[in-house]
Amino acid sequence: MANVPSDLKYVASHEWVRIEADGTVTIGITDFAQEALGDVVFVELPEVDAEFDADAECAVVESVKAASDIYAPLAGKIIAVNEDLVDAPEKANEDPYGEAWFFKMELANAADLDGLMDAAAYTAACES
């Protein structure tokens, strides 16, 4: 059974969102997603300062078997990307909620956070 930490928020496309103390968000892919992808061997991250609408394709993760798009879970601007993950993409399998964060965003509209799923809702979505 996939690990779904209760202190994070989620979107149906299997990204997790951690709300930081300063109001920015950190984003990665869930345990369920890494499990479905299999061995991750390549990650392409967005440019810092790039702006995205919610649900826009903004990064790519590739496992041995397939490429998969990563979507911006919320509208906003990229303020940091995890360069260490580019050099060690296997971290996405080993530590999806920790070392393998993908990027950080400054939100266009903090109220958008209300539209995210909590752990229980995401778990239910994965099981359906």
Partner 1 sequence: MAKRTALYAKHLEANAKMVDFAGWEMPIHYGSQIVEHKAVREHAGMFDVSHMTIVDLSGSDATDYLQKLLANDVSRLQEKGKALYSGMLNQDGGVIDDLIVYKADSGYRLVVNSATRAKDLEWMEKNLHGFSNICLTERPELAMLAIQGPQAIAKVKLVKPEAATAIDGLKVFQGRGQAEWFYARTGYTGEDGLEIMVPDAEIAAFWQSLLEADVQPCGLGARDTLRLEAGMNLYGNDMSETVSPLQANMAWTVAWEPASRDFIGRAALEAEKAAGVPTKLVGLILEGRGIMRSHQKVIVDLGADGQGEGEITSGTFSPTLECSIAMARVPKATGDHCLVDIRGKQVPAKVVKLPFVRNGKKVCE
User: Which residues of this chain interact with partner 1, rule CB under 8 A?
Assistant: 38-39, 41-42, 44, 60, 62, 64-67, 93
φ, ψ of residue 114 in degrees (nearest 5):
-65, -20
Instruction: Name the minimum Å distance from CB 103 to partner 1.
Output: 17
**β-strand pairing of 40-44 with 15-19:** unpaired
Instruction: Name the minimum Å distance from CB 109 to partner 1.
Output: 29
Nearer to partner 1, 38 or 115 (CB): 38
CB half-sphere exposure, 4, CA atoms < 13 A: 21
Per the CB < 8 A criterion, the answer to whether 75 and 112 are in contact is yes
- Bridge partners, residue 59, by sequence: 70
Instruction: Name the minimum Å distance from CB 35 to partner 1.
Output: 8
Instruction: Name the minimum Å distance from CB 41 to partner 1.
Output: 4
Per the CB < 8 A criterion, the answer to whether 46 and 81 are in contact is yes
Which H helix or E strand runs over 10?
A: strand 9-10
